[in-house]
Structure 1
Amino acid sequence: MIAFGPTDLAYAVVLGTAFGLGMCLLLSLAPRWGAPSLSRRIAPYIRDITDPRGMTPDLRGPGVDIGTWWRGVQVRVSAAIGGSTSVQRRLQQAGWVMDAATFRGRQLAWAVVGVAVGGLAIVVLVLLGRATTAAVVLPPICGVIAALLCGAHLTAAARARVARIEEELPTVLEFLALCLSAGEGILDSLRRVSGAATGELTGELRVVVLAVGTGSTLAESLAHAARSLEIPAVTRSIDQIVAAIDRGAPLAHVLHSQALDAREDAKRGLIERAGRKEIYMLIPLVFLILPLSVLFAVFPGIFILRLGIG
């Protein structure tokens, strides 16, 4: 009976992976398998004629739809992990066009890649002859780290976009107030600001203008934008604008006040960040500069005492 050692198994994994990648590359050059039929390709363009009520049966034919299967996996993973509300809020704040289930699927893909990287690291350690029993936990650890990095990437993107929107808010409000003072209406002012400026907040205003153009009321569109962003400063400003529209108050004065409040909030946030940075600056001072200063002051005396000089 032939016994296989860890090194032989590692070589088998490497050669098998290379063979599988080669076969996948060859198959990618072949004509596409499971291509949609002619009826499925032209059905979306003639459905209003052949079946205006959308009662056409499924024209995909036999076989497995990978997209539908993967979507089902995403939904099941999202339901198992939970926290969809928090994920959806961060996705909206980051401006990513996906839902919570899709993000959970991406997180799962990152975890699978992390597990694969951990397995590859074990193979490399075995080939180098440095593998230990503790290396078995490397793939799951890499998978968990990859999933956490995916969530951290979303959180960082959401925070960065929220910071940019908060920085743009005073300027956009002042621009709107200037347009209103010139005699334009609120919708025309929003359209002018969203078309003339570039940025994250003006992009949201373009969405509001588009929603109004497709039949929604201005108040509902602004409220939906506030709910999707969930930024306190933006929500407060939009609530004041909606209240002024409902009550017939002068919008220019309201926007000037909101711009002033936004600038005060930005100034207060800048002072708070400066205070935190001062604390962070103490870390290299306490742990690097101060120990080196003490070492330079004490070491010569200790050296002289050990030599017996003086």
Structure 2
Amino acid sequence: MSPAALGALVGLLAGGGVLLVVWSLRSRRITLDQRLAPYLRPRRTTSSLLHAPAARVPFPTLQRIIAPVMADGVRLVSRLGSPTAELRARLVRAGRDDTVEQFRAGQVVWGALGLAGGLGVALLLAATRGSSPVVLAVLVALAGVSAALARDWLLTRQVHAREARMLAELPTVAELLALAVGAGEGAAGALERVVRTTHGELSVELGRTLADTRAGAPLTLALDRLSDRTGLAALSRFAEAVSVAIDRGTPLADVLRAQAQDVREEGRRALMEAGGRKEVQMMVPVVFLILPVTVLFAVFPSAVVLRVGL
């Protein structure tokens, strides 16, 4: 790489850094409300022993320096990323206890790591191959954006994996509930027994439903909250059928067995559909890889014989 191109790359990176610093300082300008806030806060009337102590960190000075930058990054990711309501729903469906702000902060960290990795690759390419500074700058930006988006993509994968496990556990849990109800347990008692004796993602969600009932919510309302949290159509039908059976007084064991059978049939249909899609996908390597090689092995000896004969 020529010295002029290397100097242009260093100047571009330095100019970008200066612009980021100036933009960060201007965005953190203290407003009048922030100046007056310490003098307008209400005084605490309760004892200080009732308030939790502030969390101690090993490097408080570094935390105070990084916190404004992290806040700016979280606001930027919030504007460019998924909507807050959708992200909160996906966090609940993934079974995670993180808040939206914590997840956004994780995206900022992933983006910073991606920028660092992209910068290292860009400097390596500049030193070895002499690439264009504009291309290297685009590479660094793409690395940072891709890392931030990868965090969101992994959350979506976690949601799908958890829902698949819950869907696989639903027939067994429904059969256990039917056995408990058929043995004379009530709906809440059967739910408590199944939560106590089973393990899995669906058991965790049923444990939350049981906690709602213990807090005073009706079982039908707790089941509605279960369907809202998960977002699975099969689980929503299961919760609705159980709620209707409880309200109308129909035999709950028969309803649970019917729901388990429906879920098994739906899983069988999904498996057949997945097998059909895989069969179509297998045509791609067969047609474009295996078939040309077979034709080549069939035609090449004849071509060689004809060439030798001529």
TM-score, length basis structure 2: 0.76
Partner Cα distance (2:205, 2:71) in 1: 28
In 1, Cα distance between equivalents of 2:116 and 2:55: 37
Residue 98 of structure 2: aligned partner:
98
Unpaired runs of at least 5, structure 2: 14-43
One-letter code of the match for 1:97? D
Paired residue secondary structure (1:163): helix
CA-CA distance at 1:96 after TM superposition: 1.9
Question: What residue in structure 1 maps to residue 164 of structure 2?
Answer: 163
**1:32-181 superposed matches below 5 A:** 50=47, 64=64, 70=70, 73-74=73-74, 77-133=77-133, 134-181=135-182
Deviations 1:154-185 (A, max 9, x none): 11111111111111111110110000000011
CA deviations on 1:195-245 (whole Å, 9 max, x unpaired) are 111111011111111222233322222211110111000001101111111
Q: 1:67 to 1:198 in 2, by over 3 A?
A: farther
SS of alignment partner, residue 234 of structure 1: helix
1:235-267 superposed Cα distances (whole Å, 9 cap, x missing partner): 011011111112222211111111111111111
- Listed one character per residue, the Cα deviations across residues 36-81 of structure 1 (whole Å, up to 9, x for unaligned) are xxxxxxxxxxx99726997x9x999x99496687467535632453
Cα distance in 1, alignment partners of residues 145 and 120 from structure 2: 16
Greater displacement, 93-102 / 224-233: 93-102
Q: Deviations over 1:96-116 (max 9, x none)?
A: 222334323322222221111
Unaligned runs of 5+ in 1: 14-46
Which deviates further from its counterpart, 278-287 or 128-137? 128-137
Change (3 A) 1:59 1:206: closer
User: In the TM superposition, what is the alpha-carbon distance from 1:282 to its structure 2 partner?
Assistant: 1.5
Task: Summarize the alignment of residues 24-39 of structure 1 with structure 2, pairs less than 5 Å apart.
Answer: none
Distance 1:308 1:108 in 2: 67
Farther off after superposition, 131-140 or 74-83: 74-83
- The whole-number CA distance in structure 2 between the counterparts of 1:304 and 1:174 is 69
SS of equivalent to 2:309: coil
Letter in 2 for 1:225: L
Deviation digits for residues 130-170 of structure 1, max 9, x if unmatched?
A: 43332231101111221232222111111111111111111
User: Aligned partners of 2:118, 2:223: CA distance in 1, in Å?
Assistant: 47
CA distance in 1, matches of 2:66, 2:217: 37
**Residue 242 (1) aligns with residue 243 (2):** yes
Mapped contact 2:94–2:162 kept (Cα < 8 A): yes
Counterparts of 1:280-299 in structure 2, within 5 Å, are 280-299=281-300
Equivalent residue, structure 2, for 1:263: 264
TM-score, normalised on structure 1? 0.76
Find the aligned partners of 1:114 and 1:151 in 2 and give their Cα distance.
14
* Corresponding position: 1:206 with 2:207: yes
Superposed CA RMSD in Å reads 3.4
Alpha-carbon separation, structure 2, partners of 1:309 and 1:95: 73
CA 1:226 to 1:65, structure 2 compared with 1: closer, same or farther past 3 Å? farther
Q: Contact (CA 8 Å) 2:169, 2:202: kept in 1 or not?
A: yes
Residue type at the aligned position of 1:136: A
Secondary structure of the 2:152 match is helix
Contact 2:163 2:232 in 1 (8 A): yes
Does the Cα contact within 8 Å between 1:75 and 1:101 map onto a contact in 2?
Answer: no
Structure 1 residues 67 and 123, CA, compared in 2 at 3 Å: closer, same or farther?
closer
CA change 1:66–1:185 in 2 (3 A) is: farther
Distance across 1 between alignment mates of 2:216 and 2:117: 51
Deviates more, 1:88-97 or 1:281-290: 88-97
